[in-house]
Amino acid sequence: MTKGPSSSQETVLRLFPGPGGPVPLRGLYLDESLRPSGTPARPFVYASFIASLDGRISLPDPDTQTRKVPRAIANPRDWRLVQELAAAADVLVTSGRYIRDLAAGVAQDNLPVSDKPEFADLHEWRRARSLTPQPAVAIVTGSLDLPIPEALLHSGRRIYIATGAAADTSRTGALTARGVHVLQVGTGSRAEGRALIAALAKEGFGNIFMTAGSVLLNALLTAGVLNCLYLTQACRILGGRAFETLHTGEELNPPADFKLRSLFYDGGGNGGIDQLFGALDYVAPPTG
């Protein structure tokens, strides 16, 4: 995720599908053709990333040394689109690492949907559709020993921890007493992608937005349960040795294929840096 001040009503250029032409940035990912549209019976699982041309999705922050979206590509126009994707979500799936950063005050930003005035239209959008004020939160972790911030616990969101059956469950009672729901979604100590999505769908969630990093994306890809990747490509090379890219782990066999649904060109609205906004649908490998 990326953060920044309000984006304007300026346009981006539609490149695909045709016909091309300028379209408003505001509301781009809430348009009928791009908005997530899942149901508990058929959940829609989606993720959003911003990456540099050399594939960096995070670098160590020079002040805190925590991994964050690189400052050189973080921008308010991308952040606006992330907020729109969150506005459409029933539940945000995040990591234990993010929650620890949030509790320590070093997270890049609070979980969307932001309460800042420039995103008031997104809260109205949710109200008009009789959605809860904020999406629920599912924290994927191999440990139940998490410093969940009091502000998050009292935010009115439904809070879940998703972990494996072999994780230490000695804190389950304390968590449930604080209103946290614990989901066992794996046979080992970690959550498994397919079991995680099935459990969240059983809780009544249709639009499931993955807001964590490459490890969780790996779990979703390995399980074949990701439906769409919203990818911002910043036209800038960053370098750096300690970095994360979209996927970490073993080579995927077969590879994860995607089909381009849409592509937009943002020419210089990001402090003069060109960027591309793309939505890519996951293509399941053939069976049999």
For each of the domains in the chain, give its residue range(s) and CATH number, in order of start. Answer: 46-283 (3.40.430.10)
Average pLDDT of the residues of the chain: 91
6 confidence band (pLDDT: 50, 70, 90): very low
Predicted TM-score of the model (pTM)? 0.93
% pLDDT > 70, the chain: 95
pLDDT of 201 reads 98
85 confidence band (pLDDT: 50, 70, 90): very high
Please give the residue that has the higher pLDDT: either 225 or 96.
225
pLDDT digits (tens, 9 = 90+) for 146-168: 888 999 999 999 999 999 888 77
Torsion of CA 196, 201, 204, 205, to 10 degrees: 80
203 confidence band (pLDDT: 50, 70, 90): very high
Lowest mean pLDDT among 28-32, 34-38, 39-43, 189-193: 189-193
pLDDT digits (tens, 9 = 90+) for 270-281: 677 899 999 999
CA separation for the pair 221, 197 (Å, rounded): 12
71 confidence band (pLDDT: 50, 70, 90): very high
pLDDT of 7 reads 41
pLDDT of 93 reads 97
Residue 84 has pLDDT above 60, yes or no: yes
pLDDT digits (tens, 9 = 90+) for 88-143: 999 999 998 889 888 888 877 889 999 999 999 999 999 999 999 999 999 998 87
Backbone φ, ψ for residue 70 (5° rounding): -60, 135
pLDDT of 260 reads 98
pLDDT of 63 reads 81
Residue 144 has pLDDT above 90, yes or no: no
